[in-house]
Chains A and B, each alone.
Chain A
Amino acid sequence: MFKSKTFSFYMFILPWLIGFFIFTAGPMIYSLYMSFTDYSGLGAANWVGIENYQKIFTEDPLFWQSLWNTFFYTIFGVPLGLVVGYLLAVLLNAKVKFMGAFRTIFYLPSLVPTVASSLLWILIFQPDFGIANSILSFFHLPTSNWLLSEEMVKPSLIIMSLWGAGGGMVIYLAGLQSVPATLYEAAELDGAGKLRKFWHVTVPMTSNVIFFNLIMGLIGAFQIFTQAYVVSNGNGGPNYKSLFYVFYLYQDAFKFFKMGYASALAWILFIIILIFTLIQFKVFGKKVYYEYDE
């Protein structure tokens, strides 16, 4: 009985198990090995020791540039996205009429394929005839070159990402709706006002979804690629200011065929994401509220 249960368990998970070894575990080990070689996609891979890593940290300005670009995008983009998504959810949770319609309006932009939304924002941010500058000049405000400007290309990409903040909103909304009404009633009896109820009931009780969105947002932001590729015609311009980490990795691997070098970059990214995730669990993990499950 026991044996046959174990057998049928493995039969059921077999597809994933095979996939895990072929597409995850095997490639991970292989890519770690490649990161210590000069593999170019063709010919033999020669062992070069830690040379790739040494080069990356000491001789590669584009590594630091792309790392900085990615940090900038993450540090400003992720918190802003969290706040906008949360604000939308809180507004929608206020028992408003036409809630379904509003929810749809805020959610739809997050459905738009990144390539299509990037093209649309190129048009909006077009310096000469784009609507962004038209509105600014209508109010006699300074205009900008947006995606073509070294200073503004990253902020522009962050604005673009905020248009999709409705994706997180849906998750927050589910969290907000599961906060028991009795908690609000108890807080009211204690004389808590709107703001206190928000800070001391709503936010702590939804901390699990905020935490989830924070982790997902960070992992996603670290991997930003498509938007930057489309708006910069695949070169990370202007002057490498939109060359994000994964973008640089892609270029090294599939444009310059420095597969060994790119593998080292991939492992550095993996370590960075791992450290960030662990820090978040350490800092926020204990403060997060979890519903009793089973």
Chain B
Amino acid sequence: MEIADVKAKPALKTKKESSIKRGKILERLLVYGLLIGLSIVFIFPFLWLIGTSLKPENEALTFPPTLIPNVWDFANYKDVFTIVNFGQYYMNSIIVTVGTVLGTVLSSTLVAYGFARIKGKGRDAWFVLLLATMMLPPQVTMIPVYMIFAKLGWTNTFLPLVVPAFFGNAYFIFLLRQFFRTIPKELEESAYLDGCSTLGIFWRIVLPLSAPAIITVALLSFMWTWNDFLGPLIYLNDDAKYTLALGILQFKGALLIEWGPMMAASVLIILPLIIMFFVGQRYFIEGIATTGGKG
């Protein structure tokens, strides 16, 4: 055995190399196999959603089900707008979302800059308090806040959903503060020496440099507001005021569910988020990664 080994030394070397190579290839195959398998599992519900939205009613309920519709039928997408007040829901969601995003960006950037750069007395204590509020389950404050808005006569309006955004969001304040601290201080200092006020520095120097972080905040806040269910459920009780998340449930009666139109409506709700994701992918992923990674 040993003699054979010595004789075969050059061959052995290449054999060993090739076995390492084979191991590498095997590992690659395993990784790609898993990735492709999991991709199919993750993508399948989407295909199912789109497929059902294009099926005529009788095909949606057949057994065994068909993945790709036998007949492509866009009628569901038309029905979405006639069965329920879908156009109105869409408009309502847009109003609430745009208002919330605007309020969030305006207030959170301002507050975040205070925490990032202005060494006022008591800053650290307030910052700890801000972080603590992120852990607070919103259910603790939900009932009294509801009572405040009820007292103001704001129930069944969009105000309870939009107005709180103008007082800043702890999560975004934290994200923006982390970003502001990476801006070189020298820029602000030289502007200060030139006689620029703190507000001027914030407005003319810091904000323009922070576009990526602001876009991230706007995108995330858009997504959360668009998806919010509990808020509209508590505050809106008139069909004409419903946002999409509430409105889509109108397709679901206690006994009868109109699957085709409901799935078509779901596609229409998801669509803006998907488009937004592809347009702003970089900001999305970075935003989630920075807040998560540097906590």
Contact = CB atoms under 8 A, between A and B. Distances in A.
B113 A111 contact: no
Nearest to A216: B292
Interface in B7-40: 31-32, 34-35, 38-39
Given A9-B118, A22-B167, A266-B142, A219 B42 contact: no
Contacts of B114: 8-13
A259 interface: yes
B139 A223 contact: yes
Interface residues of A, number: 95
A213 interface: yes
B140 A277 contact: no
B263 A120 contact: yes
Given A106-B39, A112-B273, A123-B263, A230 B140 contact: no
Interface SS of A by simple majority: helix
Nearest to A84: B38
A286 B133 CA distance: 23
B120 A9 contact: yes
Contacts of B136: 24, 28, 270
A27 B129 CA distance: 16
B86 interface: no
Contact of B145 (A27, A94, A111, A250): A27
B102 interface: no
B78 interface: no
A26 interface: yes
Contact of B168 (A6, A19, A115, A254): A19
A274 to B, nearest CB: 8
Which bucket holds chain B's interface residue count? 35 or more
A219 B135 contact: yes
Nearest to A262: B143
Given A5-B118, A273-B135, A102 B293 contact: no
Nearest to A233: B254
A13 B39 contact: no
A11 B110 CA distance: 9
Interface in B248-262: 248-249, 252, 254, 257, 259, 262
B111 A119 contact: no
A2 B121 CA distance: 9
Interface stretch (B69-77, B210-218, B221-229): B221-229
Contacts, number: 251
A27 B140 CA distance: 8
Contacts of B147: 30, 41, 259
A71 interface: no
A171 B140 contact: no
B240 interface: no
Grouping DSSP codes into helix (H, G, I), strand (E, B) and loop, the B interface class, with mixed when no group exceeds half, is: helix
A120 B49 contact: yes
B257 to A, nearest CB: 8
A273 to B, nearest CB: 6
A249 B139 contact: yes
Interface in B137-152: 137-148
A230 B140 CA distance: 23
Interface in B30-73: 31-32, 34-35, 38-39, 42-43, 45-46, 48-49, 52, 61-65, 67
Given A113-B269, A124-B48, A270 B42 contact: no
Interface in B106-165: 107, 110-111, 113-115, 118-123, 126, 129-130, 133, 135-148, 164
6 contacts: A10-B114, A26-B144, A107-B277, A115-B229, A116-B248, A208-B293
Closest 7 CB pairs of A and B: A9-B120, A19-B167, A12-B114, A174-B289, A171-B292, A27-B144, A27-B141
Interface of B: 31-32, 34-35, 38-39, 42-43, 45-46, 48-49, 52, 61-65, 67, 107, 110-111, 113-115, 118-123, 126, 129-130, 133, 135-148, 164, 166-168, 170, 173, 198, 202, 223, 226-227, 229-230, 233-234, 244-245, 248-249, 252, 254, 257, 259, 262-263, 266, 269-270, 273-274, 277, 281, 285, 288-290, 292-295
